[in-house]
Amino acid sequence: MEYARLGADGPLVSRVGFGCEPLGGTDWGAVDARQAEAAVRRALELGVTLFDTADAYGLGRSEEALSAALAERRHDAVIVSKFGIAWEHAGDGRARTWKDASPARVTAALEASLRRLRVDRIPVYLVHWPDGATPVEATMEALARQVEGGKVGWVGLSNFAAPEVRRAHAAFPLAAVECEYGLLAREAEAELLPACAELGVGVLAYGALAQGLLTGKYRADARFGADDRRHRLPRFQGEALSRGLETADRLAEAGAAVGATPAQLALRWALEGPAVAAVIAGAKTPAQAEANAAAAGLALPPGLERPPELVPSAAPPPRAP
């Protein structure tokens, strides 16, 4: 495993992180809860220390499942959780959700996440989304109070644009910025990644596998059930799907020469982006966790290499957990 530090003085984390959204049990098709929790434990055994969740994933179920899977080792992990989506349950068993990054929401959401995760302090706490109404400075002021109070270690943003990242960092130092980034989602290269590199903020890249499209498992006739968000994503339709499948085929061809899967090369490519500290990849089974972790240490084959100036230097590994 490789490790990198988040921000100037943030925690040292594994460069392959475990995405915990499937632990919430919604939006990704059938999930065997026991297999998903076993995947968490296998990732730990392989040196993965970064586990990314959010209060909105399964409306709290992801945080609870992560805590149960980590068990007594939950204090060894660098848990990243997020707030910024509020919800209320409807009578039909569903919930109405809306974005809320207000100072009041910081306090309420944090206390609930601490209880679900069964910890006294969340190592890294991110604002999940801007809400379009709350000035980012107000949110950062509220988060700063939680850091000073010892309930949060470091703070960051998720899904924010470069100008808001700069404003937030000026108000209170950010350790991390989470964004979608990969071969099929390169918009962050224009402004966000350069801004994070300039500010010394670590980027957590999600979506490097394009919701599974770059794993090589799917073809043009792939179909998803109503319980799987991919049935409605533009990426899995029409011309976008064709482009994605072509990219997956190119990764498969390149990977065959070096003994790597398309998914591993897609993760490795994103890892070598400017300012990228870690990639976040979900896993439903121990085998998937093993495959994701193997992206660490890979060298990109000819045709996929990144320019040397874009490859971040690796931090020394921490003591074994």
What distance in Å separates the CA atoms of residue 69 and residue 61, rounded to the nearest whole number? 12
CA dihedral 27, 29, 34, 37 (to 10 degrees): -40
**What value, to the nearest 5°, has the Cα angle with vertex 168 and ends 9 and 190?**
90
57 is annotated as an active-site residue: yes
Beta carbons within 10 angstroms of residue 233's beta carbon: 15
Catalytic residue among 57, 181, 206, 218: 57
Tokens of residue 173, six digits: 């130092």
What distance in Å separates the CA atoms of residue 142 and residue 165, rounded to the nearest whole number? 16
Spatial CA neighbour of 248 closest among 188, 182, 293: 182
Tokens of residue 182, six digits: 């990969």
| DSSP classification of residue 135 | -
Q: Give the β-pairing of 85-89 and 78-83.
A: unpaired
Residue 124 phi, psi (nearest 5): -135, 125
Which residue pairs, CB below 8 angstroms and at least 24 apart, start in 233-237?
235/184, 235/210, 235/211, 236/211
Tokens of residue 64, six digits: 């609870």
Active site residues: 57
